[in-house]
């Protein structure tokens, strides 16, 4: 990444942190929450989206939200690598969606590895679940509370555990 792009990215991160501080420390009605989140992500947030505070992100601009999404309190989105949340998704309190990792090689440890996270329609991410970089959670899938998801989750399944494994098929 060249110096100019790095400076732009740092400006966005600084603006995001100011907006998040305002969002999480002031009283806001739901329309104000959606407006502030719109500024954080750089796209309009639909009136059908509900976000419980506090809400956290590191970058903000790489979050895409569908319609009728519910994000519970204390959710963290590490989105530099991209996070897409499709329609009708539920995200439980304290969940982590992470699209960034570091290299294993000690000589390159400070280099970032970006891999997008995709949460498909009607999925449910349980409380304190962690979705790691590069994971797609399939349509109608359920990630159990506290699960650590390291691999894609098939549609219409329930995953649980650390690392998460399919424990049930739905429908």
- Is CATH 2.160.10.10 the classification given to domain 3-169? yes
With residues binned 3-state (H G I as helix, E B as strand, rest as coil), the percentages for the chain, rounded to 5, are 20, 30, 45
pLDDT digit string (tens) for the chain, length 171 residues: 677 888 888 899 999 999 999 999 999 999 999 999 999 999 999 999 999 999 999 999 999 999 999 999 999 999 999 999 999 999 999 999 999 999 989 999 988 899 999 999 999 999 999 999 999 999 999 999 999 999 999 999 999 999 999 999 998
- d(C-alpha 58, C-alpha 16), whole Å: 7
**HEC profile of 59-97:** CCCCEEECCCCEECCCEEEECCCCEEECCCCEECCCCEE
pLDDT value at position 1? 63
Element (H, E) at 162: none
Residues 6+ apart with CB under 8 A from 21: none
Residues 6+ apart with CB under 8 A from 154: 138, 141, 166
- d(C-alpha 130, C-alpha 134), whole Å: 12
pLDDT value at position 7? 87
**HSE toward the beta carbon, residue 91, CA cutoff 13 A:** 33
CA-wise closest residue to 79 among 95, 63, 102: 63
Element (H, E) at 15: helix 3-25
Q: Active-site residue 108, yes or no?
A: no
Spot the catalytic one: 28, 102, 107, 108: 102
- The domain segmentation of the chain, as residue ranges, is 3-169
DSSP state of 153: B
- d(C-alpha 171, C-alpha 158), whole Å: 11
What burial class does residue 165 get, using C-beta atoms within 10 Å of its C-beta: 0-12 exposed, 13-18 middle, 19+ buried? middle
């Amino acid at each position: 990444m060249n110096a100019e792009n790095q400076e732009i990215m740092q400006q966005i991160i600084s603006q995001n942190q100011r907006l998040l501080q305002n969002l999480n420390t002031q009283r806001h009605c739901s329309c104000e929450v959606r407006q502030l989140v719109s500024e954080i992500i750089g796209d309009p947030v639909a009136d059908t989206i509900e976000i419980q505070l506090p809400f956290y992100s590191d970058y903000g601009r790489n979050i895409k939200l569908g319609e009728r999404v519910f994000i519970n309190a204390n959710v963290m989105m590490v989105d530099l690598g991209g996070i897409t949340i499709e329609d009708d998704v539920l995200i439980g309190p304290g969940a982590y969606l992470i699209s960034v990792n570091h290299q294993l090689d000690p000589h390159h440890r400070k280099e970032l590895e970006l891999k997008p996270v995709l949460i498909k329609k009607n999925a449910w991410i349980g409380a304190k679940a962690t979705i790691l970089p590069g994971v797609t959670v399939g349509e109608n899938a359920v990630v159990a509370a506290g699960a650590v998801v390291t691999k894609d989750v098939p549609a219409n399944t329930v995953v649980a555990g650390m690392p998460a494994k399919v424990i049930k098929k739905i429908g």
